[in-house]
């Protein structure tokens, strides 16, 4: 299981959608591909799945150039790019059977996998027409069709965009299961989703890779330098004055919560907790904003 980009560029006239993009991932796990809208995420995935040809460079799946030998490269790959539009007149089951037959899956295996996905992905009734489903229902049904062939590599383009929290949880839980035995590469702008599911992360903007690495290492490099303290009672002016003497001062207050700045050192964070509990009863104490969020803002904010 391997995904490799080797100095890939994609030009549209004078506009460079991708600019010398390189990365390599092998083995099982999940990689999050992060960047703002228009950063080049979807273009990357389209080149990766032979929907676009690169202007220069090569994209390889399992060591096979996907643009020169697409059928062979994509044989053990499942992908969902942009907003999928399955045939609206097919039922959910017919749509899954259609993809399974194209993939050459025998009937017994196909029926077994449809049953598995029906419960695991909480699919709508299998007799429902694809054209009558909500976006979330259709997205889950298409996700099932991506997995129907049991691919080793799964490529997803913002799979939970526009979905409600319940539907996002279904996708998140399934990706956590998939990454134990498969290589999952997906773009997203939902940082909490990437933080909870991915092992590695790649940051892209204006078609250029700005940073890539293990989530833990990048999070530590850009760890948050503020803590959020929730008190039992509302934070009044008197308490604010006392809190100003702790850490590097108060960043903001909201009702019963105060956000306190500090150096970012774990020892200083521990000292702040000891100080605040002396002032008033504390209900909760946590980082202000996620470490991945801090990394995202630091890496992409100036670009």
Contact call for residues 186 and 156 (beta carbons, < 8 A): yes
What single DSSP character describes residue 28? Answer: S
| Confidence tier at 84 by pLDDT (50, 70, 90) | confident
Number of domains in the chain: 2
Q: Percent of the chain, pLDDT > 90?
A: 64
* Residue among 3, 2, 27, 28 nearest 180 (CA): 28
Residues 64 and 204 in one domain: yes
298 found inside a domain: no
| 297 found inside a domain | no
pLDDT tens-digit series, residues 39-78: 899 999 999 999 999 999 999 999 999 999 999 999 999 9
Euclidean distance between CA atoms 134 and 252, whole angstroms:
40
Helix (H) or strand (E) holding 294: helix 291-301
Same domain, 49 and 159: yes
118 lies in some domain: yes
Query: Is 302 a member of any domain?
Result: no
CATH code at 265?
3.30.70
Q: Does the pLDDT at position 295 exceed 90?
A: no
User: In terms of domains, do 246 and 211 share one?
Assistant: no
Average pLDDT of the residues of the chain: 89
The 8 Å CB, 24+ separation contacts for 116-119 are: 117/144, 117/147, 117/148
């Amino acid at each position: 299981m391997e995904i490799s980009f080797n100095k890939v560029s994609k030009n549209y006239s004078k506009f460079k959608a991708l600019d010398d993009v390189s990365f390599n991932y092998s083995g099982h796990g999940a990689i999050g591909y992060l960047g703002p809208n228009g950063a080049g995420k979807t273009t990357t995935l389209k080149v990766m799945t032979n929907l676009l040809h690169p202007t220069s460079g090569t994209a390889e799946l399992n060591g096979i150039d996907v643009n020169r030998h697409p059928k062979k490269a994509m044989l053990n790959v499942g992908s969902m790019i942009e907003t999928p539009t399955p045939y609206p007149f097919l039922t959910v089951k017919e749509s899954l059977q259609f993809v399974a037959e194209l993939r050459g899956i025998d009937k017994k295996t196909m029926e077994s996998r449809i049953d598995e996905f029906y419960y695991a992905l909480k699919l709508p009734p299998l007799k429902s027409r694809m054209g009558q489903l909500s976006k979330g229902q259709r997205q889950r049904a298409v996700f099932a069709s991506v997995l129907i062939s049991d691919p080793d590599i799964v490529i997803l383009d913002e799979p939970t965009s526009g979905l409600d929290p319940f539907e996002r949880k279904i996708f998140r839980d399934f990706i956590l299961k998939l990454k134990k035995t498969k290589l999952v590469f997906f773009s997203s702008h939902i940082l909490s989703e990437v933080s909870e599911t991915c092992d590695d992360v790649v940051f892209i903007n204006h078609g250029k890779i700005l940073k890539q690495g293990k989530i833990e290492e990048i999070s530590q490099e850009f760890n948050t330098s503020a803590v959020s303290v929730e008190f039992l009672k509302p934070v009044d002016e008197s308490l604010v004055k006392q809190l100003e003497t702790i850490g590097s001062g108060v960043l903001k207050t909201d009702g019963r919560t105060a956000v306190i700045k500090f150096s970012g050192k774990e020892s200083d964070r521990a000292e702040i907790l000891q100080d605040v509990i002396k002032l008033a009863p504390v209900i909760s104490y946590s980082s202000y904003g996620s470490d991945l969020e801090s990394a995202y803002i630091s890496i992409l904010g100036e670009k």
